[in-house]
Amino acid sequence: APELCPALTGVFQEMATAECHFINGTEKVRFLDRYIYNRVELARFDSDVGHYVGFTPYGERLARSAISKPERLEYARTAVDWLCRHNYPIVAPFTAER
C-alpha cells in the first residue's frame, strides 16, 4: 500500500515523508512520519512521543485515523528498528550526524 511506503511519496501537493534521525549512530534514533500539504505540516508521528499528533483540524482527523489503525501504529512504533536501524549501514556514509 502506498501509505506504507517508507520512501518519499508525492501526490499533487500533499506529501508524506518518513524520516530517520540518527542522534548517536544507532544508539539513539528518532523516527518521524510527517504529512505535509502546501508546506504546512498537518500531522506527524514522532517516535519520541509514541503516537500521531495533528496540527490542523484536518491533521487531527488524519492523526485520529492513524491512531485507530493498530497496524498503522505498529508500523510507526517499530520503524526505528525495521526501517531506521536496518538501513543505517546504507545511509550512514551520507548522514550528517546530529
Ligand X SMILES: *[C@@H]1O[C@H](CO)[C@@H](O)[C@H](O)[C@H]1NC(C)=O
Single out the residue of 2, 11, 12, 24 in contact with ligand X (rule: CB under 6 A).
24
Residue 48 or 71: the one with the smaller Cβ distance to ligand X is: 48
From the CB of 9, what's the least distance to ligand X, in Å? 32
Cell 487531527 -> residue: 60
Q: Using an 8 Å Cβ cutoff, are 31 and 87 in contact?
A: no
From the CB of 46, what's the least distance to ligand X, in Å? 19
Single out the residue of 27, 48, 71, 97 in contact with ligand X (rule: CB under 6 A).
27
Beta strands in the chain (DSSP E): 9-11, 14-24, 28-37, 40-46, 51-54
Single out the residue of 5, 9, 13, 25 in contact with ligand X (rule: CB under 6 A).
25
Cβ neighbours around 61 below 10 Å, total: 13
